[in-house]
Chain A
Amino acid sequence: MINMDQIIQFNNVGKKYGNVVALNGMSFSVSQYEAVGLVGNNGCGKTSTINIMCNLIKYNNGEVIVFNKKVTPLNVSYKNKLGILISPPVFVDEFTPSQYLRFVCKFQHVDPKEISKRIGDVTTLFNIVSVDKIKIARLSAGEKMKVALAAAIIHNPEVLVFDEPFIHLDIHTIDLLTGLINTIRNNKTLFITSHNLDLIVNVCSRFLIMEKGRIIDNILKEEGVTVDMIKTRIKEKITAGRSENRKPDWLS
């Protein structure tokens, strides 16, 4: 059922890769201007959730609604409203950052008169060096991540969908990104996954805890609840029922 107040809705969504169940009755919704963090252990289905949301993979059952339209292979027009950073990030390795960003602008329908200005602005913002000289393939992992972030925001999307945006980034860029998200989040909807609780707790207002392909808890950042309390609660949920890993005898 379509709820007009919600920008993203997952209703009982299932996804299988062969015999492996990635999502098992996944249900949640995201309202406009909300900043939602999806957290969970490795293999719990976070990346599959993002990929389905962005129409990069098909789901097997249930219903996904984004911008009040059911997500199907033919419904792709909504993706221009998303600023997508998937993991691992996608590039055209043979292009320079500026060549790549220019095409991203064209594909995302940025006004041609504005393209050069926007490329200049985002490359300055993320301090991307050698914009015109070095191919993306030869950049460091951190530099590549900056190019991916620049590509995700260059068309000024309504919703930012980031899968692990903080990996490979240096301290300065992490500060910059968290600051940027905090600055623009009143006008944007944010859906983000990360294993870095310190960072995700700083930028999100609600947290979906995921385990074995479904949401097991929903934590709201409320008044009187400190960041440490939220982190403790998330950690308790994620590690609940897990036995302590024993160190191998040979590892001294």
Chain B
Amino acid sequence: MASLLNTLKFIMTYFRVVSKYTLFLISTTWIIYLTDIKGDLYYFLSANVFFVNLVLIYFLTKGDKYLEKNRFYLLFNISDVNRFFSKSILFGIPFLMHFSFFLLVVTGIDYLLYLTLLSILIVIFSGRLILFNNVSKLISGIYISAFTGFLLSAYFVSGVLTMIILSGLVVLSLVFIISRSLQLNKND
């Protein structure tokens, strides 16, 4: 099995070679959210930059589809989990920058709502990891729906402390799933 580190190096080199300009664009354009433009233009620009970047990130994550189809990943035992982690690191960091700055700076939402949305994203991410470990789609769906509902209801009925505890729980479950995935990789 190809190690996580080598998979990460491969994914980074691959996307650097095939789409370095797009990567540069999504890694730098979040600065727009922090500019000192006043008025509607600021909102117009920021919203466009945010949504264009979301679309770019989505299509970039699909950029290695042909390596799946031509069985390159199978040939060199590069696991789905390692690829998912590597892409999450490569695209997750710029995505989080856009997500956080857009919500907190541009729209100025309540930080509790931001924390809730972030936790839901983490739940979806960890749900995807559960899927990789051959647990049924039903269980993964129940997990994601239950946690999302839990977090949303906590946001609407409770205060800061509950939110922090719940977010902590989500992060802990994520750490558990990641360590279990790495263990499975090691056993292979």
In the complex, the answer to whether B74 meets A56 with C-beta atoms within 8 Å is: yes
How does the 8 Å CB contact mask read for B66-80 relative to A, with 1 for contact and 0 for none?
010011101111100
B residues 5-19 touching A (CB-CB < 8 Å): 6, 9-10, 13-14, 17-18
Among the 9-residue stretches A7-15, A92-100, A202-210, the one with 4 or more Cβ atoms under 8 Å from chain B is A92-100
In the complex, the answer to whether B13 meets A76 with C-beta atoms within 8 Å is: no
Interface residue tally for chain B (C-beta within 8 Å): 19
| Alpha-carbon distance A94/B1, docked complex (angstroms) | 23
> Is A90's beta carbon under 8 Å from chain B?
yes
Closest to A84 in B: B75
| Alpha-carbon distance A243/B157, docked complex (angstroms) | 81
Interface residues on chain A, size class:
20 to 34
How does the 8 Å CB contact mask read for B1-38 relative to A, with 1 for contact and 0 for none?
11000100110011001100000000000000000000
In the complex, the answer to whether A103 meets B13 with C-beta atoms within 8 Å is: yes
The interface residues of chain B, by DSSP majority, are classed as helix
In the complex, the answer to whether A104 meets B76 with C-beta atoms within 8 Å is: yes
Given the interface contacts A56-B71, A76-B77, A90-B72, does A107 sit within 8 Å of B17 by beta carbon? no
B14 contacts across to A, CB distance below 8 A: 92, 94-95
15 further interface pairs, Cβ-Cβ under 8 Å (given A55-B74, A76-B1, A77-B1): A56-B71, A56-B74, A77-B188, A86-B75, A90-B70, A91-B72, A94-B14, A94-B18, A95-B14, A103-B9, A103-B10, A106-B9, A107-B10, A107-B78, A108-B76
Q: Which residues of A are interface residues toward B (Cβ below 8 A)? A: 54-56, 74, 76-77, 79-80, 84, 86, 90-92, 94-95, 99, 103-104, 106-108
Selected A-B contacts with CB under 8 Å, 26 pairs:
A56-B74, A56-B75, A74-B188, A76-B1, A76-B77, A76-B188, A77-B77, A79-B77, A80-B77, A84-B75, A90-B70, A90-B71, A90-B72, A91-B72, A94-B14, A95-B13, A95-B14, A95-B17, A99-B13, A99-B17, A103-B10, A103-B13, A106-B9, A106-B10, A107-B10, A107-B78
